[in-house]
Chain A
Amino acid sequence: MTTSERQLERDRYRRRRTLTRGAVAAVSTLVVIGLLVYVVGNSPGWDRVHRTYFWWPDAKSSFPEVARSFWLNIRLFMVVEVFVLIVGIVVAIIRVVPAPALAPIKLLAVLYADVFRGTPTLLIVLLVGFGLPALNLTGMPTSLFWLGVIALTLSYGAYVAEVIRAGILSIHPTQWASGRALGMTYGQTMRHVVLPQALRRVAPPLLNDFVSLQKDTALLSTIGLVESLRAAQVISGKDFIFTPYVVAAAFFIAATIPLARFTDYLTVRSLRRENGLIT
């Protein structure tokens, strides 16, 4: 069937409108960026700022050292993220399970969430890093790496538990009802029906916490781990330059981007599967 003249005109108009909108977006972006560059570049102090923070030779020379130590940040947050998810899910489930027998554990879970969300992460890092080894318990890890992992897991597990709990509570009660109606136990319904939906729903805030966690691996420098921020600090202290900090910042930013894109991908995939949306 041929398309009517009227429809062709509409299509032409829509194409034109899309182009115009794209052009407006491109031009306004260029203008804003141009203005920013102009204002910053012409500020009286730009030369000094440029030399101190954005000096290419310094960036090049500090790059290998910062990069090497960033590998430690990566290992830290990869391990911590796994533990945080486990702690978060376990604590969240303990808090929502309606079992009277679990009352003491539930109380503990509430206490844990309250205490560790309320305490500054830096304080937890110091307490765990210096306090735990001082207890002289047998079997207690003494490696700084694992102490750091414990500290961050304790702190972030509390945040993530609350996020996941909110996700579980946001799933409509009819989902519980349909799961139980199939004869599944509470645990099976949680595992196969509610939790998968809850995790999907809270993926964006979870990502937020993980990004924040990746940055907070820098806090572990206080207990003596030479991660990238610490390495940058060493170089900068030696040569009185700040460019290494900016290099370290670039690494932290670069590390969050894959996570963000991965979450986007998961979100779009589930939308497409479940709503038949083509995006």
Chain B
Amino acid sequence: MLRAEAVRKSFNGTEVLKGIDLEVTEGEVVCLIGASGSGKSTLLRCLNLLEQVDDGDIWLGDAEITDPRVDVDAVRRRIGIVFQAYNLFPHKTVLDNIVLGPVTVGGRSKAEAAATAHELLTRIGLEDRAGAYPDALSGGQQQRVALVRAIAMRPEVLLLDEITSALDPMLVGEVLDVIRDLRREGMTIVMATHEMAFAREVADRIVFMADGCIEESGTPEQVFTTPKSPRTAEFLARHLA
């Protein structure tokens, strides 16, 4: 479904990704964990072509999307991404935020897109805020809307970049609920997260990154209970303490 092979990326001479191999199969939920600066976000941004890789290949289905001849916009239509800082459009209402992509890019009618948006908003319990502007919502509500905005494009893969890191613990739960819900529906998800308990619960696979490399990868059970690498063990000890 989504595959990275030997992906490398440097910024100003600092190598942030040092040859990453990662394969995500359809319906799989992969959680990237690791310290800040280990390359999780950069990897996600490369997968969505927001950053150009320095070397290596990324495959979406059977298309090599790192090929410079590829239509970047068409690729991004198939991959949704949600950021830590929500990034809702502040000049549009919640409903218009969700409807914008499906109408301008997806070519759907406004009425149809709005119907879908209302349905999605109902599912996340924000139906009554459809006419509100983003700044009037709480962080958790904004992030849930951002998730719905990404899902409304019906992406094949959803990338989530530490989407609960800016939220207080009270609001983290409501966002994680939405992700649980998506998982049940079979959405393919790659998420960078610091929520260890959640990663353990929801992930099919845990990928631990350190210094731009994948240090260890395995089922939550294996990684959390019997980590093979001492670095993984040390990281988990600090985060689960």
Within the assembled complex, what's the spacing in Å between the Cα atoms of A1 and B212?
15
Within the assembled complex, what's the spacing in Å between the Cα atoms of A6 and B66?
10
Which of A7, A13, A17 contacts B55, CB < 8 Å? Answer: A7
Chain B residues with CB under 8 Å of A278's CB are 12
The answer on a CB contact under 8 Å between A13 and B56 is no
- Given the interface pairs A10-B67, A10-B68, A14-B68, the reply to whether A3 lies near B12 with Cβ below 8 Å is no
- Whole-angstrom distance from the CB of A208 to the nearest CB of chain B? 23
- Whole-angstrom distance from the CB of B214 to the nearest CB of chain A? 16
Which of A1, A3, A10, A17 contacts B66, CB < 8 Å? Answer: A10
B:6-32 near A, CB below 8 Å = 6, 8, 12, 19
Number of B interface residues in the complex (CB < 8 A): 12
Q: Does B174 contact A (CB under 8 A)?
A: no
Within the assembled complex, what's the spacing in Å between the Cα atoms of A1 and B8?
10
The answer on a CB contact under 8 Å between B57 and A6 is yes
Within the assembled complex, what's the spacing in Å between the Cα atoms of A3 and B57?
12
The answer on a CB contact under 8 Å between A4 and B55 is yes
A:106-122 near B, CB below 8 Å = none
Within the assembled complex, what's the spacing in Å between the Cα atoms of A6 and B53?
12
Q: Does B54 contact A (CB under 8 A)?
A: yes
- Whole-angstrom distance from the CB of A78 to the nearest CB of chain B? 38
- Whole-angstrom distance from the CB of A255 to the nearest CB of chain B? 37
Mask, A8-41, CB within 8 Å of B = 1, is: 0010011001000000000000000000000000
B64 closest partner in A (C-beta): A6
Chain A residues with CB under 8 Å of B8's CB are 1
- Whole-angstrom distance from the CB of B183 to the nearest CB of chain A? 34
Interface of chain A: mostly helix, strand, loop or mixed: helix
- Given the interface pairs A7-B55, A278-B12, the reply to whether A13 lies near B68 with Cβ below 8 Å is yes
- Given the interface pairs A4-B6, A278-B12, the reply to whether A17 lies near B57 with Cβ below 8 Å is no
- Whole-angstrom distance from the CB of A277 to the nearest CB of chain B? 11
The answer on a CB contact under 8 Å between B68 and A7 is no
Mask, B41-55, CB within 8 Å of A = 1, is: 000000000000011
- Given the interface pairs A4-B55, A6-B57, the reply to whether A13 lies near B12 with Cβ below 8 Å is no
Within the assembled complex, what's the spacing in Å between the Cα atoms of A7 and B53?
9
A:201-235 near B, CB below 8 Å = none
The answer on a CB contact under 8 Å between A7 and B12 is no
Q: Does B69 contact A (CB under 8 A)?
A: yes
Within the assembled complex, what's the spacing in Å between the Cα atoms of A214 and B104?
43
The answer on a CB contact under 8 Å between A4 and B12 is no
The answer on a CB contact under 8 Å between A7 and B54 is yes
Most A-side CB within 10 Å, residue of B55, B66, B67, B69:
B55
Chain A residues with CB under 8 Å of B19's CB are 1
Which of A7, A14, A17 contacts B56, CB < 8 Å? Answer: A7
A:177-223 near B, CB below 8 Å = none
Chain B residues with CB under 8 Å of A6's CB are 57
The answer on a CB contact under 8 Å between A17 and B6 is no
- Given the interface pairs A4-B6, A278-B12, the reply to whether A13 lies near B57 with Cβ below 8 Å is no
The answer on a CB contact under 8 Å between A13 and B54 is no
Chain B residues with CB under 8 Å of A14's CB are 68
Within the assembled complex, what's the spacing in Å between the Cα atoms of A4 and B66?
13
Chain A residues with CB under 8 Å of B6's CB are 4
A8 closest partner in B (C-beta): B55
Within the assembled complex, what's the spacing in Å between the Cα atoms of A11 and B27?
34
Q: Ordered nearest first, which 10 A-B pairs have the shortest CB separation?
A: A7-B55, A13-B68, A14-B68, A10-B68, A4-B55, A3-B55, A6-B57, A10-B67, A17-B68, A4-B6
Chain B residues engaging chain A, CB cutoff 8 angstroms? 6, 8, 12, 19, 54-57, 66-69
- 7 of the cross-chain contacts (CB-CB < 8 Å) are A1-B8, A4-B56, A6-B57, A7-B56, A10-B67, A13-B68, A278-B12
Chain A residues engaging chain B, CB cutoff 8 angstroms? 1, 3-4, 6-7, 10, 13-14, 17, 278
Known: A10-B66, A13-B68. 10 other contacts (CB 8 A): A1-B8, A1-B19, A3-B54, A3-B55, A6-B57, A7-B55, A7-B56, A10-B67, A14-B68, A278-B12
